Structure 1
Amino acid sequence: MEERNMTQATKLYPIGIQTFEKIRNGNYLYIDKTEIIYRLTHAASNYVFLSRPRRFGKSLLTSTLKAYFEGRRDLFKGLAMERLETEWTEYPVLHFDMSLGKHMEKEQLERYLLSQLEQIEEDYGIHSDSPDSNIRLTKLIRHVHEQTDRQVVVLIDEYDAPLLDVVHEEKNLPVLRNIMRNFYSPLKACDPYLRFVFLTGITKFSQLSIFSELNNIQNISMLPEYAAICGITEEEMATQMDEDLDILAKRMGISREEAVQKLKYNYDGYHFTWPSPDIYNPFSLLNAFVTGRLDSYWFGSGTPTYLIEMLKKYGVLPSKIGGNEATAEEFDAPTERMASITPLLYQSGYVTIKDADTDFGIYRLDIPNKEVRIGLMRSLLPYYVTPDTLTATTTIVNLARALVKGDMEGMLQLLQTFLSTVPYCDHTDYEGHYQQMLYIIFSLLGMYVDVEVSTPRGRVDMVMRTATTLYIVELKLNQSAEAAMQQIDLKNYPERFALCGLPMVKVGINFDMERHTLKDWMIE
C-alpha cells in the first residue's frame, strides 16, 4: 500500500470561500450537509428562516441551495444529495446578498437594493426605471415565472446586515427598517409564483419587525432536525476529516487523541437547540487545520467593540457573561426591546446553549469554548486593567508560567509590580472591581475560575483550579491579608471543595485602594 503523505491534506481548506461551485470544482474540503438540505427543501414549509452567528457557513449553505435548485447535478456527485434526489428539477433562482449593505444611510441603502435588483434583471433581459424596490421585486418575480414557466426560488443571505449596526438607534433604525420591510413585502403577495424562500441572518426575523406580513415563514433556528445544518459536528470531523486529523496531530507533534481534545477545548461547544450534537466553529476549525496551530481565528476576525459597549451599557460584569439561565423567549427576545444583553450574546455566538430543563423550558447559556472566553477577556482588559494590552499580555504569560510551577507567591509578586505601574482608571473604589479584574486575569491564564461560589456558610470571592491545585481566594480592600485569611477559616470554605480531588491552597489578598495594587497577601 502506498504510504500516505502525512504533511499535506488531499483536499484544500475553503477559508473564506463561500461558493459551493468553487469548492466542488476546486478540490476543496466540503462537509456534506446535503442530506439535511434535502430534508429542508422537501419539508412542508416553503418559507424558511435560519439564524446563526457570523462565519458559521450561512453563505455557503445559501450557495448550496442555489446550486441544488438550479439543477446542478454535476456538483453533487458523491454527496448524499446524489442518491436522494431523483428529479433534479431546474428552477430560476433569485439570489440576494445583503452583506455589503452595512453602514449605509437611507439613500445609500435604497440605491444598494436597486443595484441588487438590476443585476438579476439584466440576466433575464428586464429593464425597469421604477425607483420603488418592492414594485421592481414583484415585477421581477412575476416576469421570471412567466419567462421560464417555473416557480421561482428566492434566497436572501444576511437579510439583517443593513440593520445590525443601528439596531439600538432610535432615530435610524425605524427608517432603515421600513426600507427593508418595503423591499421584502412582495414575498407573501407573490406566493403563487414561488417554489422556495430562504433567508439567513444573525438576528431572528421577528426581532426586526420586517416580516409581519410574512406570517407563514418557519424559523428553523432551534429545531433539532436542523441543529447541524451549519458548523461542523464532532462526528463529521471524525469521519469526513479523518485523514486531516492525523496530519494535524503530526504537525503539532502530539497524538491524534490529544489533537482532538485540544480542538474540542478551543472550538467546540456550540448548541443551537437541546439536545444537540456538539458543533465546532467551522471558521476556526478549518483555520487550525490550515496553519497547524491553535489561535483565536473567529474572535480575531471581527471587532467586538459594539459588544463591549453593550456590556457596559447593561452593566454586565465579566464573570456574569456566561452561566445564566433563560427561557427561549428571553434569549430569542427582540433586540430592539431587549431588557438584558442575553439575546445579543446568544445570537452573536458569544454564549450558547449548554444544558436545558425541557420540562420547564429553561436553558443554561454559557461561553462556548476557550477561544471565545479568551477573546472576550482580552477585549475587557482595557476597561478593567490597562489600555496597554501589549504589556498586559506579556505580564499574563509570565503570571501563567509562575502558576504552572505552583509558585503562587511569585505570581502575586509579579501581579503587584504590574498593577503598580497601571495608570489609574475610574470606578476602582470598591472590592468588586478587583474581583472582576482578577477574574479577567486568571481567565486569561487559561485556568478555570469562578466568583461568588456558594458554600454552606457563605460565598467564596474566587475559586481557581489548575491541573494540580485548587485555590480558594478571598479579597479585601484597605483591610489586611490576615482578615481575608480569617474569613476563609471562619467560614470553613475548604469544606465545600473537599471532594474535588485536588490539594487546596488558601489565598488571602488585600488591595490598596490608593495605590490600586496588591498591598499584602497570605498563602496557606
Structure 2
Amino acid sequence: MNKPTIALGQSDFENLREGGHFYVDKSLLIEEVIQDTNPVVLLPRPRRFGKTLNLSMLHYFFDNQRDYSGLFTGLAITKSPAWEHQGKYPVVMVSFRSCKGPNWEAMQHQLAKAISAMVEPHLYLLKKDGLWRGNKREKFEALLDREAPKHVLQDSLLFITQLLEEYHGIAPILLLDEYDTPLIEAYNRGYYAEARDTIQILFGDALKDNKALGKAIITGILRVAKESLFSGLNNLTVATVLDEGYADKFGFTPEEVKKGLEAQGLPEHYEDVDTWYNGYRFGKHQIYNPWSILNYLQKPTQGFRPYWVNTSENSLLIRQFEQASFSTITQLEKLMQGEVLESELKDHTVFQDLERPKAMTLMTFLVFSGYLYASFDRQEETKYYYQLRIPNKEVLAVYQTIFERYFEQTLDTQPTQEMLEGLLNGNIALFERYLKGYVLEAFSYYDLADDAPEKIYHAFMMGTLGYLFPTHKITSNREVGLGRADMLLIPKDADDRRGYVLEFKRAERAESLKATAQEALEQIEQRQYTAELLAEKRQVYAVGIAFFGKQVALAYAPFS
C-alpha cells in the first residue's frame, strides 16, 4: 500500500483532497459550526494548528458556486445530518495573513489587497443590473482595484454580504482568517490605535446586527478583549484553548497521530513523537502540534527537530520577554527547569496590558499562543487558576532560543561574561566588582528602595545568571540538605565537576552588608546545602550575597 504524500504548508482543502495527500479528517467541525446557535464564532488557536485549512474546508463545504461535494468523499461529515447544508450558501472568505507593514500606510495597502482578493471571486455579481443602485458599482470596482478610500474599505465586509444576500436570496457565510494579524503587527510596529479603529469598524459593521449575515467564523491566535475590538457584539461564541467547544478540531489527537505514524510505516516512533510534539491541552483534549507532526512524517530520517521555531513569528513573544519584570523572568526560568506553576488566566488579551506585562497577562498570552500547557485547577469567585508547564521539548527549544536572545540584548555582553566567568572560575573578587556596578546600574532604572524585599534581589540574580542557562542547570529554592537553597548552579558538561551554591539576604542597613553576606554563607554550611553536590564529588563554591538598596557585598568559601 502506497504511503500518502505529505503536503507541507498546503492550506487549500481542494488541492489537498484532489492531490490525494495525507489528511486528518476534521470535517465534523462543520457540524459543530452549524449546531452553534450564535451567528458569530471566534476560534483562537496557536499558529500552524490548521486554522486556515479548516476555514478552507468550510468554504468548499458551504459554497454554492460549484459542486464541491466530491471533496468530502469518505469524510465523517457525509454521514451527519449537517450534510444537507452542503453547497447551499454564498461564501465570503478573507485572509488577513499578509496584512503587515512597517507603518499604517503600508498596512492599509495590505488590507486593500486582502479585500480585493475577497471581492474577486464574486465578479458574477456585476452581471445583475438591478443590484447596482446608487454608487454600489463604483464601490465594488474601487475595492476590486485596491483604490477604495478608507471609509469604503471599512464598510467592505458589510457591503459584500449585503450584495450577496440580495443576489442569492440567502444570507452568506463569512470566513475571516487570522483576524488579529494586523493588530499584532500594528502593536509591534507602534501604530496599534490606527489599526484597531479601522478593524473595529470593519468587523463591527459586518458582525453586529447585520441581517445579511448568515454565519461568521473567525480565526486568529488571540482573543482580543471585547471592549477594544468587538464592542457591542453580544451574539458571539468564543471557544479558546481553555474551552471544551471545538477543542479537538484543531491540532491532532493521540489517536490521529498514531494513525498517521502507521500510515507512514512509523508506529514504533510514537513515544519519541509524544515527547517532542505532544503536551497541548485544548479543553479536555490532549493535542499535538500538527505542523511539527507533518514535518516529521515527511522526513523522519532527519530526526526530531523544533519545526515550530520561527523567529520572525515570535516577535511579539520576544517583546514580552524584553518588557517583563525580573520576577516574571524568574517564573519563566522555573518553567524551563521543568517546574509546574500556578497562575490566574484571563480569557482575553488587552494589548495595552502587554506593556511591561504582569505575570498573569504574560502567562495568558503564552497559553493562547501555544507556548504553555494549561490545566484547570480551581475557581475563586470570578478568578480562574490553572497549572502551567512547558508542553514539550520543541517548545522548550523556543524558550531557550528566545532567552539567549533576551540576555544578549538586555545585558552588556562583554562585562557580563567577565562577571560570570569570575564566578565560574572562583575569582569572587572580580565577580563582586562587576556585580556591584551591575546592581547599581540595573536598579537605578527601577528606583529601588532600601527596604526592597529579598525576593526582588532573588529574581534579579536569577535573571542575571540566566545568561548561563545554555551551559548550566540553574535551580531556584530547591529542597536540599536541611532546607531550601536559594540557587544551585551545575554545569551541563558531565566532565565539569564544579558546582555552585548561592544564598541571598537583604541587610537591615548598609553598615551590616558584610556581616549579612557572611551570615548567608554560614547558612549554606549549617544547613548543608552543599551536601548533594559534594556527594557527586564536585568542587563546590559557596557564595553568600547581601543586598541593601543598590549596594551589595559577598562572602565566599570553597568546599571539596
Q: Do they superpose with TM above 0.5? A: yes
Distance in 2 between residues matched to 1:29 and 1:522, nearest whole Å: 60
Per the alignment, residue 386 of structure 2 pairs with 363
User: Using a 3 Å threshold, how does the CA distance of structure 1 residues 465 and 19 change in structure 2: closer, same or farther?
Assistant: farther
Give the deviation of 1:179 after TM superposition: 0.9
User: Using a 3 Å threshold, how does the CA distance of structure 1 residues 428 and 241 change in structure 2: closer, same or farther?
Assistant: farther
Give the TM-score of the pair, scaled to structure 1.
0.75
Select between 89-98 and 451-460 the one with higher mean Cα deviation: 451-460
Distance in 2 between residues matched to 1:104 and 1:308, nearest whole Å: 18
User: Secondary structure at 2:280's aligned position in 1?
Assistant: coil
User: Using a 3 Å threshold, how does the CA distance of structure 1 residues 324 and 168 change in structure 2: closer, same or farther?
Assistant: farther
Per the alignment, residue 238 of structure 2 pairs with 219
Per the alignment, residue 342 of structure 1 pairs with 363
Counterpart pick for 2:184 among 164, 170, 173: 164
Distance in 2 between residues matched to 1:378 and 1:89, nearest whole Å: 47
Counterpart pick for 2:75 among 79, 97, 100: 79
Which amino acid in structure 2 is aligned with residue 73 of structure 1?
S
Give the deviation of 1:228 after TM superposition: 2.0
User: Using a 3 Å threshold, how does the CA distance of structure 1 residues 153 and 464 change in structure 2: closer, same or farther?
Assistant: farther
Give the deviation of 1:386 after TM superposition: 9.2
Is the CA contact 2:476–2:486 (under 8 Å) kept in the aligned structure 1?
yes
Per the alignment, residue 177 of structure 1 pairs with 196
Give the deviation of 1:153 after TM superposition: 0.5
Give per-residue Cα distances to partners, 1:260-303, cap 9 Å, x unaligned.
Answer: 23222222111233xx2221111122212222211121123645
Per the alignment, residue 516 of structure 1 pairs with none
Is the CA contact 1:56–1:282 (under 8 Å) kept in the aligned structure 2?
yes
Give per-residue Cα distances to partners, 1:10-58, cap 9 Å, x unaligned.
Answer: 1122321111111111122111111233122222122100111211211
Counterpart pick for 2:273 among 258, 263, 280: 263
Correspondence list, 1:318-337, <5 A: 318-321=329-332, 322=335, 323-329=340-346, 332-337=348-353
C-alpha RMSD of the superposition = 4.5
Give per-residue Cα distances to partners, 1:353-388, cap 9 Å, x unaligned.
Answer: 145225773112222222222222222224447999
User: Using a 3 Å threshold, how does the CA distance of structure 1 residues 121 and 460 change in structure 2: closer, same or farther?
Assistant: closer
Select between 45-54 and 152-161 the one with higher mean Cα deviation: 45-54
Distance in 1 between residues matched to 2:250 and 2:179, nearest whole Å: 17
Give the deviation of 1:453 after TM superposition: 2.7
Query: Would you say how many aligned residue pairs link Structure 1 and Structure 2?
Result: 471
User: Secondary structure at 1:191's aligned position in 2?
Assistant: coil
Matched, 1:451 2:476: yes
Seq. identity, % = 22
Correspondence list, 1:439-478, <5 A: 439=466, 441-442=468-469, 444=470, 450-453=475-478, 457-462=483-488, 474-475=501-502
Counterpart pick for 1:295 among 305, 308, 311: 305
Give the deviation of 1:134 after TM superposition: 3.6
User: Using a 3 Å threshold, how does the CA distance of structure 1 residues 215 and 107 change in structure 2: closer, same or farther?
Assistant: farther
Distance in 1 between residues matched to 2:402 and 2:87, nearest whole Å: 50
Structure 1 or 2, whichever has the larger Rg, is 2
Distance in 1 between residues matched to 2:258 and 2:475, nearest whole Å: 32
Give the TM-score of the pair, scaled to structure 2.
0.71
Give the deviation of 1:186 after TM superposition: 2.3
Give per-residue Cα distances to partners, 1:229-249, cap 9 Å, x unaligned.
Answer: 2111222212344233x43x7
Per the alignment, residue 427 of structure 1 pairs with 438
Q: Which runs of 5+ in 2 are unaligned?
A: 127-136, 140-147, 412-420, 441-456, 505-512, 546-554
Which amino acid in structure 1 is aligned with residue 280 of structure 2?
Y
Distance in 2 between residues matched to 1:434 and 1:327, nearest whole Å: 25
User: Secondary structure at 2:174's aligned position in 1?
Assistant: strand
User: Using a 3 Å threshold, how does the CA distance of structure 1 residues 523 and 232 change in structure 2: closer, same or farther?
Assistant: farther
User: Secondary structure at 1:450's aligned position in 2?
Assistant: strand
Distance in 2 between residues matched to 1:233 and 1:445, nearest whole Å: 35
Give the deviation of 1:463 after TM superposition: 7.8
Give the deviation of 1:218 after TM superposition: 0.9
Distance in 2 between residues matched to 1:383 and 1:104, nearest whole Å: 23
Give the deviation of 1:81 after TM superposition: 1.0
Is the CA contact 1:234–1:280 (under 8 Å) kept in the aligned structure 2?
yes
Give the deviation of 1:484 after TM superposition: 8.4
Q: Which runs of 5+ in 1 are unaligned?
A: 250-255, 389-411, 513-518
